[in-house]
Amino acid sequence: MKILVCISNVPDTTTRIAIGPDGKSISTAGIQWIINPWDELALTRALELKDVGRVTEVVVANVGPTLTEATLRKALATGADRALRVNTEPTDAWSVAINLAELIKNEAFDVILCGIESSDHNGSVVGGLLAGILDMNIISSVSGLDIEGDTLKVQREIAGGKELHETSAPVVLVVQKGIALAPRIPSMRGIMMARTKPLLTSDPVSSEPMTATAQLFMPKAKGACRMVDAENAGDLIRLLHEEAKVI
Amino acid sequence: MNFEFTEEQLMIRQAARDFAQRELIVDVLERDEKGIYPTQHVKMLAELGFLGMLVDPQYDGGGMDTVSYVLAMEEISKIDASVSVIMSVNNSLVCYGIQEFGTEEQKQKYLKPLARGETTGAFLLSEPEAGSDATSQKTTAEDKGDHYLVNGTKNWITCGSSAGTYVVIAQTYPEKAHRGINALIVERNSPGISVGPHENKMGLRSSDTNSVMFTDVKVPKENRIGEDGFGFKFAMKTLEGGRIGIAAQALGIAAGAFERSVQYAKERKAFGTLIGNHQAIAFKLADMAVKIENARNLCLKAAWLKDQNQPYGIASAMAKQYAADIAMEVTTEAVQIHGGYGYVKEYHVERLMREAKLTQIYEGTSEIQKIVISRDVLKD
Amino acid sequence: MSILVYTENREGKFKKQSFELVSYAHALAQLAGREVIALSVGEVADDELKQLGEYGASRIIAIDYSGHLESRNFSKLIHHWVGALGPDIVLFADNNTGKSLAGGVAARLKAGVVSGVSGLPISMEPFILSKMVYTGKVNAQIQINTHHKVVLLAGNSFGVHTNPVTSIIEHHNIVAELASPSSELLSTEMQKGKILLSEAEVVVSGGRGMKGPENWGPIEELAGLLGAATACTRPVSDEGWRPHTEHVGQTGKVINPNIYFAFGISGAIQHVAGVSRSKVIVAVNKDPEAAIFSVADYGIVGDVNQALPQLIAAAKTLKDNA
């Protein structure tokens, strides 16, 4: 089986976000870029499956400008076999999906893994769009994946429970927390081997933006916290009932 | 001049940071309190390739440069110096020494498993009556034709009990003084070796430090590193590189205490405002930042010189002396900034202060570094 | 024109989020002069279907189907009905089901799609929606440029509001052209009696300050009294004290209940990102300088183990008097 892991390049989750002068994008000064945390877990699971011989090749792909190559090389250092980059600054989820779809039309993959959302735009629709464009089946909110021969065993989280699915390839799996315990840390050997692994760049397909950011602004600061004496903790329940009217 | 790190160096720093902040932090207080050797963490260090990161890939190492090593040592030392010292001794004393001066057979037999981290190394130089003074070795390695017979006691040996491979410095020709010293690779489980109890130390409490006694220990001749009588020079050369590791460790201890102090200054309030808004605290933080930046630059300069195959002995002495001394200052101030919280173990800074102290003592005290530096300054 | 709402059911009963979605569609329809059509798939009795009318759906399309539809075919089915009914706005709940269907529907419609939406559109022409980005750190206004608009509404962000209308129920079989299925649902395992974190109006949560899994009894007891779901921080789920399904925060679940109780939670930025949209946050922490107090509305500085029994007693009294 051959796995494609779609990788989003996002600001480090501890970064303080500031809005840029255009009011529609964030200021990128001083931002450290990382692999989107859910994509990193997807990659980790793909590599674990390769370790046990269930997967023959793990390829990573990103739609983004040259800046994102550092992120792809980190994925290679972590253990991916090769990387693909579509050279464009994506305008919305559609432009990411249509370009990823183009890669998959040119090269067959058995499993396509996407993180459930990216920690920047929190769109959580790329996987669905991709499967829609390719007319592939999709299983979302995946928290467990095993491969037995030609069959994939997929555990999916649903509200208040779990489902176990069995599916054949090709399939798009949108993964969430639980798919792997913790993201894999690249080893020195991996970092050394990444030097010689291929990272191929391709040109984008043209697309009209379906959505656009009209404006970004910072949320209003919260008012002061009303303190309740620890000796009268029970009084809090009364306040919540009578004053805040939430219970 | 170029102060920029390569993408690879940044990746190594991040890998070390992730490992430290995710894995090492978890039980570091308990390991320190109870003096528990970090068995699992050393295994992870080996899997990630940190234990042999400086070794040539043909001997199963990571083939990374010394700059990367400094970055990794700093990140790991921010959280746990007991783990970073194991990494430092293995990389810059034991592996470096064998790779640089050992025979091909020694590299195949001993360097490879050390680089893979299957076993770790220890460097046996200090003696009960000779810590800083490496010229007066009481441990003897008597030439018995096809082997040496080693007798004597080594003290303050980092990884003395956990290591599988020793590099032992011993006197073969007492009449030749330091020119009669040899360096031998000795297997830890050789008959005649007995290891003393784990020293109950002030800091780095979870790394094992022991005395090691040798009684008629047979060491094959082929385990001698370099020519007959090369031992003292070997030790001096090896320690030059070792200083970079400990300098980076001291830097990391300081930086770890500094980061915690900045965080605390942004969270803790006194007199109605965050303590970081009080100049008394803000200026302390500024002083700490400058010292750390200086130490970092000295460490990186020494590492860079080593990577460029230029002499780095003086640069590494400067880096070690300065980084160790400021680590002590910075960690002491960090405890002060934390006030009462700083004096209790939960807040880590008192531990970092205890760890900092050792960096002024081992692998050449700050005073020894000053001797090295001043001799160079005054030479004709 | 119309608004099509996909109303999800579980075992023949509509989820609360379905009623919220219809309430939202009704408010949107008032703004835009549209009809609200609900689409239900599965075996749902007419009495239950009728309820959708209580919240503002005037037309209810019920697809009577008892099997499992894989997401690809489910998207095709919804796409078919968009074609047949001609809505320009298609609404989904922003939950695991909505996330697995909306993209497929949008791709087939070549429509712009926005998830995590809270509140009614800021403007209908152009069509601009509000949502949080950078995991709660930034507010965004997103414009959809296409004729068809696919919207995923964040759970508990609008609330359930009754707007009774006369409704017509139409029963249909699947008529859309579906692909032969490539997957099979082997089993489903539901946690019994638990209130869903994603739907809960009240959430009681614990952090590392709880000291250990053995101290969760009072948290569960308080949650039980308040009809709340339980949650935890990342370190707690990483330590295995609580299941990872309870983890709320940047890489866990993002929730917006009416009230969020944070016991022994310091308020790390990654955690706050997941709960900052709660209407009221209550924090109990022994450290008066804990960051959680800067985002909390009500706070108690003190030991959680002393505060919890008092809160439980007060909640019991409140319940008894109600």
How do residues C47-105 score in pLDDT, each as one tens digit?
A: 999 999 999 999 999 999 988 899 999 999 999 999 999 999 999 999 999 999 999 99
Residue C146 CA to residue C110 CA, distance in Å, equals: 8
pLDDT of B272: 83
Residue A98 CA to residue A126 CA, distance in Å, equals: 9
CB B220 within 8 A of CB B147: yes
pLDDT of A13: 81
Overall average pLDDT of the A64-75 stretch = 96
B116 pLDDT band, cuts 50/70/90, is: very high
Pair type for strands C2-6 and C35-41: parallel
Q: Which fold would CATH assign to domain A2-218?
A: Rossmann fold (3.40.50)
**C291 touching B, CB under 8 A?**
yes
The alpha carbon of A189 is separated from its chain's Cα centroid by a whole number of angstroms, namely 25
pLDDT of C245: 87
Burial of B39 by CB count in 10 Å (0-12 exposed, 13-18 middle, 19+ buried)?
A: exposed
Residue A18 CA to residue A47 CA, distance in Å, equals: 35
How do residues C127-139 score in pLDDT, each as one tens digit?
A: 999 999 988 889 9
**Contact criterion met (CB < 8 Å) for C145 and A209:** yes
pLDDT of B131: 67
Q: Considering only alpha carbons, which residue of chain C is nearest residue B275? A: C289
Window 54-73 of B: residues touching A by CB (8 A cutoff) are 57, 61-64
Domain ranges of chain A: 2-218
Say whether A4 sits in a helix, a strand or coil. strand
**Contact criterion met (CB < 8 Å) for A211 and C258:** no
CA angle B344, B349, B352 (to 5 degrees): 120
pLDDT of B234: 96
CB A159 within 8 A of CB C96: yes
CB A177 within 8 A of CB C244: yes
Overall average pLDDT of the A76-92 stretch = 97
**Contact criterion met (CB < 8 Å) for B15 and A73:** no
Residue C262 CA to residue B369 CA, distance in Å, equals: 52
The amino acid at B370: K
Residue A110 CA to residue A132 CA, distance in Å, equals: 16
pLDDT over 70 (residue B168)? yes
CA distances from residue A214 to A210, A226, B91, C91 in whole angstroms, order as listed: 13, 36, 54, 21
Helices (H) and strands (E) in chain A, counts: 6, 13
Q: What is the dihedral of CA B252, B369, B137, B110, to 10 degrees?
A: 40
B21 contacts on A by Cβ (under 8 Å):
none
pLDDT over 90 (residue C215)? yes
- Encode C227-238 in three state secondary structure: CCEEEECHHHHH
- B293 catalytic? Reply is no
C289 contacts on B by Cβ (under 8 Å):
267-269
**Contact criterion met (CB < 8 Å) for A185 and B19:** yes
Chains in contact with A, counting 3 or more C-beta pairs less than 8 Å apart as contact: B, C
Overall average pLDDT of the A183-187 stretch = 97
**C320 touching B, CB under 8 A?**
no
ipTM: 0.93
B26 contacts on A by Cβ (under 8 Å):
none
**C289 touching B, CB under 8 A?**
yes
pLDDT of C32: 85
pLDDT of C256: 86
Q: Which of C94, C133, C280 sits opposite A121 (nearest CB)?
A: C133
C177 pLDDT band, cuts 50/70/90, is: confident
CB A145 within 8 A of CB A153: yes
B262 contacts on A by Cβ (under 8 Å):
none
The alpha-carbon gap from B245 to the nearest alpha carbon of chain A, in Å, equals 17
Walk me through the domains of chain B, giving residue ranges and CATH numbers: 7-116 (1.10.540.10), 121-232 (2.40.110.10), 235-378 (1.20.140.10)
Residue C127 CA to residue B95 CA, distance in Å, equals: 65
pLDDT over 90 (residue C289)? no
pLDDT over 70 (residue B132)? no
